[in-house]
Amino acid sequence: MKVRTRFAPSPTGYLHVGGARTALFSWLYARKMGGQFILRIEDTDRERSTEESVGVILEGMEWLGLDYDEGPFYQTDQFIRYKEVIQQLIDTGHAYYCNCSKERLAELREQQMANKEKPRYDGCCRDKNLADADNTVVRFKNPLEGDVVIEDMVKGRVVINNRELDDLIIERTDGTPTYNLTVVVDDWDMKMTHIIRGDDHLNNTPRQINILKALGAELPVYAHVPMILGDDGKRLSKRHGAVSVMEYKENGFLPEALINYLVRLSWSHGDQEIFSREEMIQLFDAVNVNTSASAFNTEKLLWLNQHYIKTQDPEVLAELLQKHIHFSYYNTDNGPDLIEVLKVFQERCSTLVELAEEIRFLYDDFDTYDAKQAKKQFKEATLPIIESLKQQYTALDNWTAEAIHHVVENTVNTLEVGFGKVGQPLRLAVTGHGKSPSIDVTLELLGKEKTLKRLDQAIDFINNQNT
């Protein structure tokens, strides 16, 4: 049988990194096994589900490159089908109507907790043969004896006694189906062979297996992957930083880096850290997923992102960078060729946002300096150095890195000062912040006209500072 996996998010918010990793693992397993990957939108929570969230999920999947073979399917299109299955369960004696009031259930729960018992429905209406009415729900008649055995690809054999389970509601009083019913019907109808999902769903699995058995359906293979924690050991949330996939895009991360990072959360292949997409597909095996939760490490993600930025084709990188340059409000038409700039700068930055800001000085004029650097580098003794550089660069016709460097060396020798006394003030003068690659390459990219203009500006600043 052809392997079929699925990703089934609820459109009640953004696509978070935990969901993205689940989608990735499902996608990888399907691709490795030559199977199919299906996208299903579980939108039965009508109050919280939004079209905007659906759009964000689809956008996130596309950005990550997690293409799906079928879908997206929407659960709200399947209400007639759910109704049919619920009626089938009632007709075959696997479900029943229940009219227990909220007050009775609250009182039952309170009593059970007082007795230090696990809160659960007591089967009050199980054998009453009630008819459908305005105040009734439908409950699944869970087996009273035996065990549910889950041969989990990640966790191994998990055994749950049926006495631990109660008769869960599968249809509410308003006629809408509940989560455990809709998931079962969809997985059955879509012929899912493998269900890879977060281990927060493990408690639902025995209930779903029992419903599948009552329907005479073939059981899928389950794999429950551990959750992702923050670096403080608590469940990952916004307090730990970005958790939305699209927020990482906005913050200048490459999809290759995020995918590479997510695949290494709870899965590994020896000590290998960098994986191409093809290697992930070839090497991934859900059986080798760790059972323990993984901590999200932003520093590790930044390291990976820097790797993918510095190894990216400069032309491709230039396209990716345009959006971030736009948001930084400067125009690359007013300066050196962006691709040539990236060949020099792309090794220096961890995100596209950082890279866009790092190269800004090449295109955008400034009239302020980093205060700490200015205090350190722009002293009165610096003035003759900057003036000497300006004089020599004004006379320089061959504006190349080699010739530019020769001027710096000549200034060091003529004024009998250390290279740092020349290079650092010069770098601050032309960048405004004092950070750049080698000063000769930097000035070649900046161009003669802008270099001279900024040396004049630095001279004025030093004179005004010491007036």
Q: Which residue has the tokens 């939760």?
A: 293
**Token output for 347:** 């090794």
Would you name the residues annotated as active-site residues? 238
Q: How far is 128 from 135, CA to CA, in rounded Å?
A: 15
Q: ∠ CA(349), CA(352), CA(353), 5° rounding?
A: 95
Instruction: Assign 146 to helix, strand or coil.
Output: coil
Residue in 12, 64, 22, 15 with CA at minimum distance from that of residue 294: 22
Residue type, position 317, single letter: L
Cβ within 8 Å of residue 171, ≥6 positions away: 86, 137, 138, 177, 178, 181
Angstrom distances, CA of residue 50 to CA of 10, 45, 56, 248: 10, 9, 10, 22
SS (H, E, C) 247-306: HHHHCCCCHHHHHHHHHCCCCCCCCCCCCCHHHHHHHCCHHHCCCCCEECCHHHHHHHHH
Angstrom distances, CA of residue 5 to CA of 23, 191, 252, 460: 9, 9, 30, 67
Cis ω before 72 (30° cut-off from 0) = yes
Please count the other Cβ atoms lying within 10 Å of the Cβ belonging to residue 257. 22
Judge residue 283's burial from the number of C-beta atoms within 10 Å of its C-beta, 0-12 exposed, 13-18 middle, 19 or more buried.
middle
Q: How far is 95 from 92, CA to CA, in rounded Å?
A: 8
- DSSP calls for 418-458: -HHHHHHHHHHHHHSSS--S-HHHHHHHH-HHHHHHHHHHH
Residue type, position 419, single letter: F
**Token output for 305:** 């992102």
